[in-house]
Amino acid sequence: MGLVNRTQVTHFILLGIPNTEGFQTILFFTFLAFYLCTLLGNLLIFSAVLADPHLHTPMYFFLCNLAMLDIGISSISIPKLLDNLWANSRTISLGGCMAQIFFFHFLGSTESLLLTVMAFDRYVAICHPLRYLLIMNHRVCAILTASSWIASSFHATIVTSLTFTLPYCGSNVVDYFLCDIFPVAKLACADTYILETVTFTNIGVVPMIYFILILMSYTRIISCILKMNSGEGRRKVASTCASHLAVVTIFFGPCALIFFPPEMSKVLVTPVNIFGNLVMPMVNPAIYTLRNKEVKAALRKLRGSQRPAG
């Protein structure tokens, strides 16, 4: 009987980005350009690493996973948002809404774990270079990566299940451009305290713990860099770490939003989420290629191999 009462809502209406009336066409082509650049940039990095045997190392193995995550994260909401902007198609099925919430938190959690693993990888490479290949062997890399994906799937399953076991018997209008936990849970006709507590822990406290672990890794890394005698070695190591630190800052910065005062959070949540879904996945490939000679060389080889002979 309870299940019947909980399945009255069969679809949701996404209102889109607030205060953008009259700018739909401009936003459509802007977001489309960003999305296509995201797909192209990450696919190029993925292809370059696969094609160049010199890049078959733990760092680039993790980078390939990061590229796949960025493609996935941008693909969760942007195609539907483009459809909304171009054709004013605002309806999303219950299953589609569940899928957006699940994959948004699944891929986001996986990326936060993967960035933590990448920080550990850099720590071992710089602070224990002679034992690097022994510690970060293929088996360890595979276990760390698989664990990140599996643990995140449990996290996403929990928050999605808690969201959609709530009864929805009133409005189905989501005042947002994608289905996410808080905008959807606002429509529930039941107490959402447990969901809010679990969500606060999973998307606020846990990522901050990952961020602290990353800072601890880089504290040790900086200590090792300062002990290096070679200036060239310092510059090379600092350049490698700078790319990862930039991505970490861009990714974990928005997580602090949940700790802001509610008035500030409401103002910032939409631009921050657009940045996380659209801009960040596009910027990451640029960060890793602009200062990385190995990736740039692999891309040049890839471009050369695709040119017709003659």
* pTM for this entry: 0.89
**Residues with Cβ < 8 Å from 252, sequence gap 6 or more?**
112, 115, 207, 208, 210, 211, 214
**Is 168 among the domain residues?**
yes
**Is 130 among the domain residues?**
yes
Name the H helices within the chain.
Answer: 2-5, 24-51, 58-87, 94-127, 132-135, 138-164, 181-185, 193-200, 206-226, 231-252, 262-274, 280-290, 293-305
Query: Under a CB-based contact definition with an 8 Å cutoff, are residues 244 and 215 in contact?
Result: no
**Is 309 among the domain residues?**
no
**Is 310 among the domain residues?**
no
**Is 106 among the domain residues?**
yes
Residue 190, Cα to own-chain centre: how many angstroms? 31
What token pair was written down for 161? Answer: 């299940």
Q: What is the DSSP string of 201-261?
A: IIIIIHHHHHHHHHHHHHHHHHHHHHT-S-HHHHHHHHHHHHHHHHHHHHHHGGGGGGGS-
**Is 19 among the domain residues?**
yes
Query: Under a CB-based contact definition with an 8 Å cutoff, are residues 94 and 32 in contact?
Result: no
Tell me the C-alpha distance between 274 and 69, whole Å.
16
Token pair 């953008």 in the structure block, residue: 20
Amino acid at 202: N
Residues written for the chain:
310
Domain ranges, residue 221: 2-304
- CB under 8 Å, gap of 24 or more: what pairs does 247-253 form? 247/66, 247/115, 247/284, 247/287, 247/288, 248/115, 248/119, 248/211, 248/214, 250/280, 250/283, 250/284, 251/111, 251/112, 251/115, 251/276, 251/280, 252/112, 252/115, 252/207, 252/208, 252/210, 252/211, 252/214
Token pair 């004013």 in the structure block, residue: 88
**Is 36 among the domain residues?**
yes
Total number of domains in the chain: 1
Which secondary structure element, helix H or strand E, spans residue 92, and what is its range?
A: strand 91-93
CATH of the domain at 96: 1.20.1070.10
**Residues with Cβ < 8 Å from 162, sequence gap 6 or more?**
194, 195, 198, 199
Radius of gyration for the alpha carbons in the chain, expressed in angstroms and rounded: 21
CA angle 278, 281, 287 (to 5 degrees): 130
Q: Is 81 exposed, middle or buried (0-12, 13-18, 19+ CB in 10 A)?
A: buried
Q: Which residues lie across from 12 on neighbouring strands?
A: 92
**Is 228 among the domain residues?**
yes
What token pair was written down for 190? Answer: 């039941």
Which residue stretches of the chain have pLDDT < 70? Answer: 1-7, 230-233, 255-267, 290-291, 305-310
